[in-house]
Structure 1
Amino acid sequence: MKKNIKLLIVEDELIAAENISRNLQQQGYEIVGLVSTGEEAIQEAIANHPDLILMDIMLPGEIDGIKAAYIIHTQLQIPIVYMTAYADNDTLEKAKHTEPYGYLVKPFKPQDVSTTIEIALKRYETEKAMAIRYTAQIQVAQEKLLQLSQLPNLTLLEKQFHQITSTLNFSAKSEIVDNLAPRIVPVFCLRLDRIQKLSNILSYQENECLVNLVSKRLIAYLGNQELLARLNNDEFAIVLNAVNYKQEVSNAAQQILSLFNEPFLVNHREIFVTASLGMAMFNDDGYELEQLINCSKKAMNYAQTLGGNRYEFYQKLLSVDWDNELALEIDLRHAIERQELQLYYQPKVDLRTGEIVGAEALLRWFQQAKGFISPAKFIPIAEETGLIKPISDWVLKTACKHTKLLHQEGLGFIRVAVNLSGYQFNQEELPQQLLKITLSAGIEPKFIEFELTESLLIADVKLAVDKLKLLKSLGIKIAIDDFGTRYSSLNYLQQLPFDILKIDQCFVRDIEHNSKKQAITKAIIDMAHQLGLKVIAEGVETAGELQFLCQNGCDEMQGYLFSRPLPFRDFKQLVKSKAILSIK
């Protein structure tokens, strides 16, 4: 039973911890760490993933044993056994809600510890096996349900499509017999955006439930007169009734996309998802359903490369330079090895002192032949092709290395903010990767900030909260970027554990001349401070904008008024010069 069993001991009394460790090692257990705080417990659990943790309830610092156990158990699924000499009823009640696998009351005998560990591990393995069997049973039931409630397949859809088109009053050569008769039959392809990211968050059953809820919502909107078929897991084909004008097709597409404005309820959780639509039209783009679906798929793929949550006509694709897109992808695959990627840093300035206190790291791609290539062009390609993984890893490693260089040169403990990609946020190993990179660079995680947009978080708010808490337990500061530009920001701000709120530049621009922007920005600053958040304004370019932000209590700013984004060498020189923002 004890062979290769790894244990982590969390105990703030060093002598007691060493005694427990020595006794357990004599019994054949492997001790992977002795730590004395909740923060260290989380870091060791992430780094070594022990089979079981012996956790003292009373620990010094902000994260006690109960908080640490909750984070570790929910995020890493490691069983916890509590150790305590005394705890009041309220503390024990809190401990119970973290679902521990046992308690040890101090002082205890070595054999008591061994017996408790064996019972806890047996219970954990039994529960895990039961969960696997339950999941398998649910999957079989879901598959049977899906077979019973399947949407029409393509064969049936094609038959219904021909019935619609055969009634139209024109010939295959588009010789219109009746000028007033509808002559356009729209064929749509719809795909859910971010489905791969959602698959990392949702179980198989939850993912299937989400797609079925999407089907029901589409059916309710389309009714019996228009056709819907499921092409695969996350794609649908839609055939609408014949219309007269292209504008009617656009209106229908917009209405379908608006169906995704409201969340889907999956296992009592609100799941937000958007969709992309591609559109082809019978008689304009082809006559056979298969041909039209292929055309609409191309348009749908194009819509997703533009960011998703939009529709595109197939005809528009004729103007897209696909050769250049492919060449850009090939070049991007070699960008890291050719050292073409660079990080530029835009300073963040304290609005009380005017001093540089941090910077946002911004990715740039410079090619000798083509010059700088806009992130708006290459980031979507990186996300679509999977190149976002090595690029995101390179950005984080480089930002940590540069931060260490600033510290080594005695330029103050500058904080560096990194924009976290959707790929990175959805990786289970992000905390481990972060610890590995920061330790390798020789800096503490507290000098790194992560900036996230709302769109990364709202797919599953509960899961996002847990992930952010785990990152914050390592000392990372979390900022919400582009605040107020999408979704229901106020609803989520109170749920998600942020440290910093960044006011988008669309609110800052010309604020001294716009009373509505003034009211909104002042309200954002007041609300953020009431929630204990620091406020940073982006895109500050004029003295008037700066004056308004200072007068209304904004904490920090970044923008061209003080400095453009700079290569690391120039940014380091700016910090070294002790440049100060003039605040009147």
Structure 2
Amino acid sequence: MKQTRKRRILIVDDSEMNREILTGILEDEYDIVEAEDGKKAIAIMEEGLYSFSIVLLDITMPELDGFGVLQVMQQRNWLKELPVIIISAETSNEYIGHAYEMGVSDYFSRPFDARIVNTRVRNTIALFERDYIDQVTGGGNRKEFIRRVSRSLKEMPAKTDYVLLFFNIKNFKAVNELLGVGGGDKLLCWFYQRIIYSRFAPIDTSRIESDHFACLIEARNLDYDYLTEFCNFNYGKEKRKMHIYSTCGIYYIQENDVSVTGMIDRAKLAKGYITDEYLKPYAIFKSDMKDTYVDEMEICSEFEEGIEKQEFQVFYQPVVDAKTGKIVSAEALVRWFHEQKGFISPGQFIPALEKGGYISELDRYMIEKVTGCLDQRRAEKKRFVPVSVNLSWMDFYDENMLEWIVRGLKKNNQNEQKIRFEITETSLAAIGENHTRMLMHLKENGAEILLDDFGNGYSSFGMLQDYDFDILKMDISFVRNIGVNKKSESILRAIIDMAHQLGIRLVAEGAETEEQVAFLRANGCDYIQGYYYYKPMPENEFLQLLDEGK
């Protein structure tokens, strides 16, 4: 295994003496790059942003001072990728508070105390990198792999000497059922270590998602006979030994290539072209493969830019009280208005983002937008109603995402019941028993949980037995069969009655006709969501309805 490379620090200070002191304190543990002013610092970061683990930034400098540097970093969205500690002799609350508002992580003052400098730098890097750690293997996650490989490729003189491998453990769901979740996690850790210590001598390795792994290697280390042997292996002790198969997609990196995300996508795409996974468990990406995958790959590669440009908009579909027709809540729905391509259907981009591992980032964006809207209404003392945000099944495999949600719940006054979370019945079945405990953890911290598409799957009623939901959203197929299918109407009545006996409220989705609405009212349904009342609409139109008392 290769020796771990030192993390790199950018020190920005117009005082040569200050730079020398800080370098002397930190150089044993870190590689140091120096900039004598703000403009030079910006130029260095433009050349290689991902080369640095942290920036130590003096505030008082001529021409472009530290606040000016922070403003540029904000505008270019760099602070998401790079923590900053400011250096200042000024320690007033107003001064330091302004720095925190601009996005700095910490500060220390002059004269420098070596112990304080080392501790704060170490702690800030560790806290920042927590979002880049895979909770199962303890190694880097997808985001960290992309970050590190991007940095490595920038420093490599010939990118064509390198290859990206994408591994998938076959039938892992069956392994999980046999060994249990804990046993399955042990296999994932074991396979991760198996890659690291293999003859591939990987430069970088990460679990990308679920049972998928990626590694960057030198092309000269790729032996196809060894790869075939590597993909088939025995796991476990004598009494519980099992034979495990894996497959591998291979992407040879080109000069002036696509992003690392695109490389992962292409290696993953190649894996889908394996014809006999037992005799030849690998496939090499070829250019004619990409046409079948270009849309999904483009969606993933353009997603982060779309977030930065605010191309994703929150639309709200009101939910009304069945008796009064008054708006009592809403569902937040995402819409993508691409700068060049125009409107992209959620049915196209959401599955692509789930496959690419970006869906949790989109869900976080939606939660931030909805929370921000509701907080503003509250601050302005205007009427607001609870809004539900959809969670993907993938969110429950991201502990950092769930911890972030819980922190938000604890921060806000949940007596207001401003934000709710929806999960579909299909997603709940997919995440398994271990991860549904996390769903209940959200509820314990004050969130209201809605089970969407209820009645769509075979396990609907078992879920009501196992979990406490606040609201059920009946599958749209039941509502559409009102006036058409008497059996569906009988089932609807039974569901409404059963839910009320369990103390659960009901939302009927997809109501479009007066006949459907009349039936739902007559049979005691609590809430109705559908085009009969309101279509999904932009935020300003929704808020206008609230202002009008609708």
Which TM-score applies when normalising by structure 1?
0.47
RCO higher in structure (CA 8 A, sep ≥6): 1
Q: TM-score, normalised by structure 2?
A: 0.49
